[in-house]
Structure 1
């Protein structure tokens, strides 16, 4: 039996520190995220597949399932 991925992550903006609880999509990577605090458009850091892997408290569901960092798309 495969464990279900955790879908809730807290994204924290590196520019202003604004944090928001978000539900991650299970069917696609999220490459952009608009910060509600300062309006910055977050993009993944080099080597990460999405904003959740770069700025979230939990890696995206495809990375959780594979157990490694890498492209989930």
Structure 2
């Protein structure tokens, strides 16, 4: 492995990327709920439905992650 790859992989921090990803998804869903849907979104599926579907999907994902958390821990 080259030194540039080693330094890139050592600077990658999984919890930080997960937190940034969650913050980005939360910001996107918040923006969808706050702003009005575009005409294209309304014509395609109904703009209000789009934002609500993303909100419910994110809530279900959080519940699934929390349900898996106790199973993923190995006994010490």
Q: TM-score range by the shorter chain?
A: under 0.3
Bigger Cα Rg = 2
Which structure dedicates a bigger proportion of its chain to strand? 1
TM-score (norm 2): 0.24
Which structure dedicates a bigger proportion of its chain to helix? 2
